[in-house]
Amino acid sequence: MRTLEISHRTRYEYSEPVTLGEHRLMFRPRDSHDLRLLRTGLTIEPAASVRWIHDAFGNSIAIATFNGSTAALELNSTICLEHFALPLALPPIEEYALKLPFSYLAEEAPDLARYVERHYPDPNAILSSWTKQFMESEEGTPETFATLTRMCKGIQESLTYAMRFEPGTQPPAVTLETGTGTCRDYALLMMEGARALGLAARFVTGYLYDPALDDAAGGDARPAFPHAWMEVYLPGAGWVEFDPTNGIIGTERLIRVAVGRDPEQAMPIKGTFTGAAHVTTNATVDVQVRTLAAAPAALASAAPPAQATTSLGTAALDPSKT
């Protein structure tokens, strides 16, 4: 278990004043057996009216509404949490789901149906053909977890990461044709690949955490970035996390914030503004992850606890691939 403090600052600057529309913010994780939320903070400038809801996926969403015009918007989120990493060993998959293909049980199939359904057209069977390479097996029947592991590693090794600041994702076929993409594109590609195998898959946004830096003592927290990956529902194991950008499996390095059937449903920030047609926007994002050395109770004390800093990036994890 580790106690982490994550600060996430996003600032938008407009070339002239604009009127802000409603903004939906996904910064607050949901408590679970692998994540315990200790405290949160959210500040917005200019001041906004904020109300909280749970969406269809159980995500916690802050809906901000504004009055008047502004030339800038700044969002500052701070969360402190205990992270209980799950082991990366082979998950306890039900026997009937150990090999492909298999069908989900009747009591789960209706709820998983939309997660299994492919969301993007593949008229030339580019994705379907690409998926087949990961199903190789000496025994003839491919093992489910081994196939997904090969797909996760294969994406990491065969594609070239290319940072893209435009919002949204590109279709999986485009990612395969160009051989490049962002973490969002990598996750979406693996989602559709898993769905092509008849598996339920969903998109995840959050933060990438590197426990290798836990021993670093003192100094300022190092910069990091928000991250995206995907999960596959495996009977007996539940939703298992795969990060094809870094080729890692399991929750040890991943801090889940929001999930969705499609990337659009798990965006950390989603909003609009109204202004002149020539208005331009400049966005900056700063994320820092800090490991707290003291117990959570010390957070309320007058003297701050000693701290060790951590960030997203080591020889194993490329900090640019987020």
Q: What is the pLDDT of residues 191-232, one digit of tens each?
A: 999 999 999 999 999 998 876 665 553 445 765 679 999 999
- 195 and 117 in a common domain: yes
- Contact (Cβ atoms closer than 8 angstroms) between residue 148 and residue 194: yes
CATH number at residue 234: 3.10.620.30
> What's the pLDDT tens digit per position in 281-319?
999 999 998 888 644 443 332 232 332 222 222 223 444
Confidence of residue 261 (pLDDT cuts 50, 70, 90): very high
- Structural domain span for residue 24: 2-84+267-310
Mean pLDDT of the chain: 87
Looking at this protein, which amino acid is placed at residue 227?
Answer: H
Q: Does 159 share its domain with 231?
A: yes
Residues 27 and 47 reside in one and the same domain: yes
Give the tokens for residue 216.
Answer: 């670093």
The backbone torsions φ and ψ at residue 9, rounded to the nearest 5 degrees and listed phi first, read -115, 125
108 with 252, same domain?
A: yes
pLDDT for residue 81: 95
Neighbour-count burial of 216, counting CB atoms closer than 10 A to its CB (0-12 exposed, 13-18 middle, 19+ buried): middle
H/E element, 231: strand 226-234
User: What are the counts of helices (DSSP H) followed by strands (DSSP E) for the chain?
Assistant: 5, 16
pTM of the shown model = 0.88
- Does one domain contain both 167 and 257? yes
What pLDDT does 61 receive? 98
Alpha-carbon span 153 to 244, nearest angstrom: 6
At 17-62, the pLDDT tens digits run 999 999 999 999 999 999 999 999 999 999 999 999 999 999 999 9
- 153 and 187 assigned to the same domain: yes
Confidence of residue 164 (pLDDT cuts 50, 70, 90): confident
Cis-peptide, bond into residue 101, ω within 30° of zero: yes
How much of the chain exceeds pLDDT 70, in percent?
Answer: 84
Q: Where are the alpha helices (DSSP H) in the chain?
A: 109-116, 126-132, 144-158, 172-178, 183-196
Residues 133, 121: Cα–Cα separation, whole Å: 20
Q: Are residues 54 and 191 in the same domain?
A: no
Contact yes or no for 39/15 (Cβ under 8 A): no
